[in-house]
Amino acid sequence: QVQLVESGGGFVQAGGSLRLSCAASGRTFSTYVMGWFRQAQGKEREFVAELSGSGGSISYADSVKGRFTISRDNAKKTVFLQMNSLKPEDTAVYYCAADTIFAYGNIWSPRYWGQGTQVTVSS
């Protein structure tokens, strides 16, 4: 099994930036698809971004394209989400996720989840 721990959330003003990190356990990190979801108050969890083990396949939600960048460091067993030009509507709890299967967009249903980290963007 895989354990995921997110960090890097916080409070920022609109237009600002944050970088989220997700540290993973185990020896199989490089073979796992890693990604991020988010859940705003009163709304269902939604897909944000996804990255294959090799880094060769990437998927982003339309709402974050051009602003967010997902990356990974397999040697450090860590995945990142660089969030730029943040908007109030980006406010949500962000969850790191992992699975062996890559599927584009919100049809991806990862097996493993982190505990979540709060991102709040003020206007």
CA dist list (Å): 111 to 4, 21, 25, 47, 79: 11, 19, 14, 14, 16
pLDDT given at position 106: 81
Angle value at C-alpha 85, between 46 and 20, nearest 5 degrees? 55
pLDDT given at position 27: 78
pLDDT given at position 92: 98
pLDDT given at position 1: 78
pLDDT given at position 28: 82
User: In order along the chain (123 residues), what is the average pLDDT of each group of 10 residues?
Assistant: 94 98 90 97 96 94 98 96 98 97 90 97 96
